[in-house]
Chains A and B, each alone.
Chain A
Amino acid sequence: GAVVSQHPSRVICKSGTSVKIECRSLDFQATTMFWYRQFPKQSLMLMATSNEGSKATYEQGVEKDKFLINHASLTLSTLTVTSAHPEDSSFYICSARSGTGGQPQHFGDGTRLSIL
């Protein structure tokens, strides 16, 4: 149980393109979803937290207009990287959690974004 599906797994596109990444909880309702960015050989950096039907809460230094997050249902959240540039190239990972408090987060397999 507790499967999170992230799609696509890899994206290669030209500079200036907007890219949408989907994160779905397949067998549970995700009250909260998280988006992370991971640089090579580094830990995960939390970008934003989203609750279903609410605006996302962004971490300090993360541009809201650059990284648009939508959490329209209890099973789907999307991250759109708008007008992507080479410096946005990274590994993006989503996670989902049901309930509150100390419940574990369940992670998707990540999306490798490469901007040419």
Chain B
Amino acid sequence: GNSVTQMEGPVTLSEEAFLTINCTYTATGYPSLFWYVQYPGEGLQLLLKATKADDKGSNKGFEATYRKETTSFHLEKGSVQVSDSAVYFCALSLQRGNTGKLIFGQGTTLQVKP
């Protein structure tokens, strides 16, 4: 089946620390991969995406590389800020023969302290 697994949170970091949130997936097809961020009381915002192997998605200092050999899409940021505190969701969507359903990981809460 298709599934996404994220590292458990909460992840607590000091400002300017390096961030990694691990995400691995299983998929029967050839998925597109996404990271979404959810701030308290809000919906999800697309953070970045990658549609094929070795693609690197990047946005607002965050990066993730589509690794087919390790079926991973880990999220990284070199220097986090307090404003990055949120819940981060890794997700996949199958590209073919599919309505575009997103399969989400369980979410990882990031807390950044000043």
Give residues in A with beta carbon < 8 Å to B: 2, 4, 6, 32, 34, 41-44, 46, 49, 51, 57, 93, 95, 97, 100-110, 112
Number of interface residues of B (CB under 8 A): 27
7 sampled A-B residue pairs with Cβ under 8 A: A57-B99, A93-B43, A93-B44, A95-B43, A102-B51, A105-B100, A106-B46
B25 to chain A, nearest CB (A): 13
CB contact between B95 and one of A41, A43, A101 (< 8 Å): that residue? A101
Let me know if A107 and B100 touch, CB within 8 A: no
**B102 within 8 Å of A by Cβ?**
yes
The reply to whether B105 and A43 contact each other, CB–CB distance below 8 Å, is: yes
Tell me the complex Cα distance, A97–B42, Å.
19
A32 to B98: give the CA distance in the assembly, Å.
11
Q: Given A104-B46, A108-B43, are A49 and B101 neighbors across the interface (CB < 8 Å)?
A: yes
Q: Which residue of A lies closest to B105 (CB)?
A: A43
Cβ-based interface call for B24 (8 A): no
Instruction: A44 to B93: give the CA distance in the assembly, Å.
Output: 14
